[in-house]
Amino acid sequence: MRTNGIETFNIELMEEFEVIDKHDSKIGEKELEYYNKFKPTLNMISPKISQSKELGRIYSIQYKQDENWFYIGSTEVCLTTRLCQHKSASLKGNTPFYTFMRENGRENFTIKCIEDNVPINHLVIRENYWINTKKPTLNKNINLCITDKERDRLKYLKNKNKILEQANKRRLLKRDEINTQKRDHYHKNKERIADADKQKRKKLRETSFEVYTDSPEFIYEMLKNYTVFELKEIAKKFGLLSSPRKKEALISKILDKQNNIFPPV
CATH 3.40.50.880 fits 55-143, yes or no: no
pTM above 0.85, yes or no: no
The span from the CA of 57 to the CA of 75, in Å, is 6
Closest CA to 95 of 44, 35, 49, 139: 139
**32 or 118, which is more confident:** 118
For 55, residues 6+ apart whose C-beta sits below 8 A from its C-beta are 76, 116, 117, 118, 119, 120
Whether 61 shows a pLDDT value over 90: the answer reads: yes
Q: 25-41, pLDDT tens digit by residue?
A: 667 777 878 878 888 88
Would you state the pLDDT for residue 24? 59
Would you state the pLDDT for residue 45? 66
The span from the CA of 30 to the CA of 16, in Å, is 10
The dihedrals phi and psi of 136, each to the nearest 5 degrees, come to -60, 145
Every domain of the chain and the residues it spans: 18-52, 55-143, 207-261
Q: Are 251 and 224 in contact (CB under 8 A)?
A: yes
Q: 239-252, pLDDT tens digit by residue?
A: 887 778 789 999 99
